[in-house]
């Protein structure tokens, strides 16, 4: 069964820091990778996505995908307390429209 592993499980960083969240996956044929953010008590919401190897930047957020190393990451520059949330990585399940989610990283940004 395809899996997505996330690390670390939780992370506390000071305001203004660079935050890095990581995911590894088992299927190099995967075509769609995304990060979802879930604030406490709220619905998960798509943050960014990428289809092919490389990097994508949107504001303070950057995602990296390296299919050869089966690694996918999210970097947050100048982390803010409002970034505190559960971050879930996801990838498309081969041959379907389903997404497989990682178990999440709980990020806390301290003022």
Partner 1 sequence: EAAVTQSPRSKVAVTGGKVTLSCHQTNNHDYMYWYRQDTGHGLRLIHYSYVADSTEKGDIPDGYKASRPSQENFSLILELASLSQTAVYFCASSRQGSYEQYFGPGTRLTVL
Question: Among all chains, which residue has been given the structure tokens 């990020």?
Answer: 107
| b/e per residue 72-104 (b: at least 16 CB within 10 A) | bbbbbeebeeebbbbbbbbbbeeeeeebbebeb
Tell me the window of 14-22, 58-66, 73-81, 96-104 that interacts with partner 1 (CB under 8 A). 96-104
28/96 with CB nearer partner 1: 96
Instruction: Indicate whether 94 belongs to the interface with partner 1 (CB under 8 A).
Output: no
Q: Do the beta carbons of residue 92 and residue 79 sit within 8 Å?
A: no
* Beta strand 33-38 pairing with 85-92: antiparallel
Can you tell me which of 13, 17, 32, 61 binds partner 1, judged by CB under 8 A? 32
Q: Which of residues 42-71 bind partner 1 (CB under 8 A)?
A: 42-46, 49
In this structure, the number of other CB atoms found within 10 A of the CB of residue 53 comes to 10
Instruction: Indicate whether 88 belongs to the interface with partner 1 (CB under 8 A).
Output: yes
CA 7 and chain centroid, separation: 10
Instruction: Indicate whether 13 belongs to the interface with partner 1 (CB under 8 A).
Output: no
Q: Least CB distance from residue 93 to partner 1, whole Å?
A: 9
Contacting residues toward partner 1, per CB under 8 A: 1, 6, 9, 32, 34, 42-46, 49, 88, 92, 97-99, 101-104
């Amino acid at each position: 069964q395809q899996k997505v592993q996330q690390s670390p499980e939780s992370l506390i960083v000071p305001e203004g820091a660079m935050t890095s969240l990581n995911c590894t996956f088992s299927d190099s044929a995967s075509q769609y990778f995304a990060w979802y953010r879930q604030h406490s008590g709220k619905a998960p919401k798509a943050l960014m996505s990428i289809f092919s190897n490389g990097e994508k930047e949107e504001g303070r957020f950057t995602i990296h995908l390296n299919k050869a190393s089966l690694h996918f990451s999210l970097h947050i520059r100048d982390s803010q307390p409002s970034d505190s949330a559960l971050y879930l990585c996801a990838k498309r399940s081969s041959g379907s429209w389903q997404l497989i989610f990682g178990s999440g990283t709980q990020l806390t940004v301290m003022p």
